[in-house]
Structure 1
Amino acid sequence: MRSRLSRNFPPNLARIMLLCCAALWGGSYLVAKVAMSAITPQWLMAMRTGGACLIMFLLFRKTILRALNKSILIPALVIGVTYWGTMVLQTKGLLTIDPGRSAFLTASYCVLTPFAAWFATKNRPHNINIIAGVICLIGVGFVSLKPGGLSLSLSSGDWLTIGCAVVFSFNLTYLGVYSKKFNAIAVTFVQFAVAFVLFLVGALLTEPLPNASWVEPKIIVSFLYLFIGATTLAQLMQNIGLAHVSASSASVVMCTESLFSELFSILFWGSMLTLSTLVGFALIFIAVLMSIVHRRVIVNLFRRVEDWVSDWRKK
Structure 2
Amino acid sequence: MTITRSIANALLLLTAVFWGSASVVIKIALDANASPGFINFFRGFLFALLILIFFYKKIVKMTFKDFKIGLIAGFLNFGGYITQTIGVQYTTPSNSSFIAATYVVVIPFIAWAIYGKKLQLKSFVSIFFCLLGMTILTGIVNESLTINIGDSYSFICALFYAATIVYLSYGVKSTDVSIVAFMLAVVQTIGGLFICTFMEPGKLTEIEWSHAIVPLLYIGIICSFVGQTLQVLAQKHTSATSAGLIMMLEGVFGSVFSVAFGFDTFTVKLVIGGILIMLSIMVMELDFKQILIKNKEQLRKY
Would the TM-score normalized by the shorter structure come out above 0.5? yes
The answer to whether residue 264 in structure 2 is matched with residue 267 in structure 1 is: no
1:158 corresponds to 2:151: yes
Q: CA RMSD in A?
A: 3.9
Displacement after TM superposition at 1:283 (Å): 8.8
2:34 is aligned with 1:39: yes
How far is the alpha carbon of 1:122 from its aligned partner?
A: 1.6
Q: Is structure 2 residue 118 aligned with structure 1 residue 124?
A: yes
* More moved, 32-41 vs 159-168: 159-168
Q: Deviations over 1:259-310 (max 9, x none)?
A: 22212212322424788x769955973685267423429977xx9xxxxxxx
Contact 2:94 2:255 in 1 (8 A): yes
Equivalent residue in structure 1 for 2:70, among 47, 72, 76: 76
- Structure 1 counterpart of 2:39, one-letter code: L
Q: Confirm or deny: 8 A CA contact 2:22 2:223 kept in the other structure.
A: yes
Stretch of structure 1 that moved more, 183-192 or 246-255? 246-255
Q: Is the 8 A contact 1:111 1:287 kept in 2?
A: no
Residues 205-226 of structure 1, C-alpha deviations (whole Å, 9 max, x = no match) = 2113453443531111111221
How far apart in 2 are the matches of 1:224 and 1:54?
A: 13
Alpha-carbon distance in 1 for matches of 2:289, 2:29: 41
Query: Please, which of 46, 55, 60 is the counterpart of residue 65 of structure 1?
Result: 60
Q: Give the one of 99, 102, 105 matched to 1:108.
A: 102
Alpha-carbon deviations, 1:84-104, whole Å to 9, x = none? 111111111111111122223
| Aligned-partner Cα distance in 2 for 1:178–1:35 | 33
Distance 1:226 1:115, change over 3 A: same
TM-score by length of 1: 0.73
- Contact 1:251 1:292 (C-alpha < 8 Å) held by counterparts: no
Q: In structure 2, how many angstroms separate the alpha carbons of the residues matched to 1:297 and 1:56?
A: 42
Q: Is the 8 A contact 2:69 2:172 kept in 1?
A: no
Partners of 2:83 and 2:182 lie apart in 1 by: 21
When normalised by structure 2's length, the TM-score is 0.76
- Residue 162 of structure 2 corresponds to which residue in structure 1? 169
- Show the counterpart of 1:294: 286
Residue type at the aligned position of 1:49: G
Pairwise CA distance, 1:45: 0.6
- For 2:187, what is the secondary structure of its paired residue? helix
**1:285 partner letter:** I
Letter of the structure 1 residue corresponding to residue 73 of structure 2: I
Given that 1:252 and 1:293 are in contact with CA atoms closer than 8 Å, whether structure 2 keeps it comes out as no
Distance 1:91 1:296, change over 3 A: same
Query: Residues 129 and 290 of structure 1 are in contact (CA less than 8 Å); yes or no, is this contact kept in structure 2?
Result: no
Partner SS state of residue 180, structure 1: coil
Q: 1:90 to 1:214 in 2, by over 3 A?
A: same
Structure 1 alignment gaps of length 5 or more: 304-315
Greater alpha carbon shift after TM alignment, 84-93 vs 291-300: 291-300
How many pairs does the alignment contain?
A: 285
The alpha-carbon deviation at position 154 of structure 1 amounts to: 2.7
After superposition, the C-alpha distances for 1:136-162 in whole angstroms (9 at most, x for unaligned) are 566677654463xxx532332223212
Structure (1 or 2) with the larger CA radius of gyration: 1
Aligned match of 2:90: 96
Q: Quote the Cα distance in structure 1 between the aligned partners of 2:245 and 2:25.
A: 24
Of the candidates 32, 35, 48, which is equivalent to residue 43 of structure 2? 48
Q: Using the TM superposition, give the Cα deviation of residue 128 of structure 1 relative to its aligned residue in structure 2, in angstroms.
A: 1.6
Deviation of the 1:32 alpha carbon: 0.6
- Distance (Å, rounded) in 2 between the aligned partners of 1:298 and 1:163: 38
Aligned match of 1:186 in 179, 203, 211? 179
Confirm or deny: 8 A CA contact 2:25 2:215 kept in the other structure.
Answer: yes
Corresponding residue SS for 1:181? coil
SS in 2 for 1:96: coil
AA matched with 1:223: L
